[in-house]
Amino acid sequence: MSVETQKETLGFQTEVKQLLHLMIHSLYSNKEIFLRELISNASDAVDKLRFEALSKPELLEGGAELKIRVSFDKDANTVTLEDNGIGMSRDDAITHLGTIAKSGTADFMKNLSGDQKKDSHLIGQFGVGFYSAFIVADKVEVFSRRAGLDASEGVHWASKGEGEFEIATIDKADRGTRIVLHLKSGEDEFADGWRLRNIIKKYSDHIALPIELPKEQAAAEGEEKPAEEWETVNRASALWTRPRTEIKDEEYQEFYKHIGHDYENPLSWSHNKVEGKLEYSSLLYVPARAPFDLYQREAPKGLKLYVQRVFVMDQAESFLPLYLRFIKGVVDSNDLSLNVSREILQKDPIIDSMKSALTKRVLDMLEKLAKNEPEQYKGFWKNFGQVMKEGPAEDFANKEKIAGLLRFASTQGEEGEQVVSLAEYLARAKEGQDKIYYLTGETYAQVKNSPHLEVFRKKGIEVLLLTDRIDEWLMSYLNEFDGKSFVDVARGDLDLGNLDSEEEKKEAEEVAKAKEGLVERIKASLGDAVSEVRVSHRLTDSPAILAIGEQDLGMQMRQILEASGQKVPDSKPIFEFNPAHPLIEKLDGEQSEERFGDLSHILFDQAALAAGDSLKDPAAYVRRLNKLLVELSI
């Protein structure tokens, strides 16, 4: 190796300094994960070379046998990891080893729990795996050259993890990266073949290329040490290509942790090989917890794509719909071209067939989880429920299947928990009930105590309580389930159908006819604040409520549109009153038109507040209420 040139010392980005301090001083309870992270990075580097070499075979530089080598030197107390993957240029080394995305660091710090073992497993998830080397090393050196660059354009990067790093240009004959860890005092356990072999078998057995260690060979007395021989210590075969019967659960779990950069085992997985018109293998996982960027719809997502076991791309998003963006896994196709691109994937009819089949497989896996492991599914719903609610709008073909996976809070469910399925709701529906009733609102307390539920409580009819911001939008796409249509109990003129007896219907008609005069007086008083005034069939205890017109936007949708700066169509509520309530009886007998107007507006504003709406003129409400209180105290 020639003399170093263009040598300079540079400072780490502030976020890297914070991270290094954490690595060195805090995350030491599970030190061996440094090797898992470095091997995972090396595997990615080899995958990237394979992909780039599809269009530029000269990048292989005559060396197409791709591998990772791990060695050690007891005397020097070092561990060396070398790959012949894509390698790095000088600029790559400064970018990748000296800086990390600020959001990644912030999210990493935010997700720390104080449990060292769990925290150390977060490292890979946030793209900071390289820095785990400093858990066991007090100095790290990197020798690298990017494939395709001249041998004189190699780079040497070195740091003691103390806020700065040195970088220099060197000669490096072969492409790829060699990382030398100078172990800290007391960490010599890692400069041992048996220890390294066990770590590799534990964490990296599934890596689909050979990971080699030097063969342990003893020299005969008086002979020189024999030339170094290498042996592969991992299976070095793609997990998804092996028969399911040969794969242990632990192997599936470790492979998930590798591709998902997760420290927890997955909730479920599905391994499948399709033969026939299309030929492909898939291995799909349901994570146990949500990634930090789940609600960023533009964040990288998708499956790892292989074509005939050759890695083609990370995050191929064309194989699953957006609402299943949390699914991790691998798809390996025999039918796609090796030079396939994202643009081609979007137009390829083969992809449509595969997407349809993979989507169905994921939904089947979730159905099985919900049926066989209800407690685990409860945890899944807590993490991914809001994303699943995007499904009915995006995936018309599977709308009924997705609806069966949805979970809701209800008037008969556990306190505020979204645990009620639509199948469970219908199983305990009242005899003659042909509708699924629901109510949307901002909070559970608001909808649970809503006056709109009074008649349902009286008749013992269960109502679903929807409080997620996405719920009203969801229900605009979810029209029916199992042949039963959905009814918003706060919308339109409530009709309970067969749940009301003929006597109740007749009585309601008679009361409405008898109160026509009061309806006209209230309508005249409230004027254009309302679209209609009518006698309510929903109320048993409250004096009045506001209902929404059949075609009008509900409060949730209005708030979402307003928050996004969109113009909201103008609409007015329907004022419904309970003729049997003492306040309404008092209003009906009021002779003073001024006092009648004040009482009508107070009842209107109270109904708006009960619905969770804000008052258009709070000062007028307070003034009328105070005036009434003064009159009552005289």
Distance CA 471, CA 491 (A): 15
117-160 pLDDT, tens digit per residue, is 555 555 555 556 788 898 899 999 999 999 999 999 999 999 99
Do residues 211 and 232 lie in contact, with contact meaning Cβ atoms separated by under 8 Å?
yes
Residue 68 host element (H or E): strand 68-73
Q: Identify the residue with better confidence: 496 or 436.
A: 436
Q: How far is CA 416 from the centre of its chain?
A: 22
The confidence score (pLDDT) of residue 102 equals: 47
Do residues 533 and 526 lie in contact, with contact meaning Cβ atoms separated by under 8 Å?
yes
The confidence score (pLDDT) of residue 63 equals: 76
> Which are the contacts of 52, defined by CB distance < 8 A and separation ≥ 6?
59, 86, 147
Q: Cite the DSSP H helix spans in 322-470.
A: 342-347, 349-372, 374-388, 391-394, 399-405, 422-427, 444-448, 454-459
> What is the band of 565 on the pLDDT scale with cuts at 50, 70, 90?
confident
Q: Cite the DSSP H helix spans in 146-248.
A: 193-203
Q: Do domains 388-499 and 502-633 have the same CATH topology?
A: no
Locate 224 and state its tokens: 């020189």
Q: Which whole number is the average pLDDT over 311-316?
A: 78
| 502-633 maps to CATH 1.20.58.220 | no
The CATH class, in words, for 388-499 is alpha beta
DSSP-derived secondary structure for 250-270:
HHHHHHHHHHHT-SSPPSEEE
Do residues 50 and 189 lie in contact, with contact meaning Cβ atoms separated by under 8 Å?
no
Taking CA 53 as the corner, what is the angle to CA 47 and CA 56, rounded to the nearest 5 degrees?
Answer: 155
Could you count the other beta carbons within 10 Å of the beta carbon of residue 8?
10
Least confident of 52-66, 321-335, 458-472, 560-574: 560-574
- Helix/strand/coil (H/E/C) assignment for every residue in 109-138: HHHCCCCHHHHHHCCHHHCCHHHHHHHCEE
Locate 432 and state its tokens: 């003659």
pTM of the model: 0.72
The confidence score (pLDDT) of residue 257 equals: 85
The confidence score (pLDDT) of residue 1 equals: 46
Q: Which whole number is the average pLDDT over 249-261?
A: 87
Could you count the other beta carbons within 10 Å of the beta carbon of residue 364?
12
The confidence score (pLDDT) of residue 384 equals: 93
Q: Which whole number is the average pLDDT over 445-468?
A: 90
Residue 364 has pLDDT above 90, yes or no: yes
Amino acid 96 reads H
Q: What is the mean pLDDT of the chain?
A: 85
The confidence score (pLDDT) of residue 212 equals: 95
Least confident of 302-306, 560-564, 570-574: 560-564
Distance CA 368, CA 504 (A): 44
Least confident of 12-26, 114-128, 520-534, 564-578: 114-128
506-559 pLDDT, tens digit per residue, is 888 888 888 888 989 999 998 888 888 988 888 889 999 988 887 777 766 766
57-90 pLDDT, tens digit per residue, is 899 887 778 999 999 999 999 999 999 999 999 9
Amino acid 127 reads G
Q: Considering the chain, what percentage of its residues have pLDDT values greater than 70?
A: 88
Q: Which of 493, 570, 595, 582 is nearest to 543 (CA)?
A: 582
> Which are the contacts of 171, defined by CB distance < 8 A and separation ≥ 6?
1, 2, 151, 152, 154
239-381 CATH pick, 3.40.50.300, 3.40.50.620, 3.20.20.10, 3.30.230.80: 3.30.230.80
Distance CA 316, CA 52 (A): 16
The CATH class, in words, for 5-232 is alpha beta
Taking CA 375 as the corner, what is the angle to CA 371 and CA 380, rounded to the nearest 5 degrees?
Answer: 85
Q: Domain extents for the chain?
A: 5-232, 239-381, 388-499, 502-633
The confidence score (pLDDT) of residue 103 equals: 46
Amino acid 24 reads I
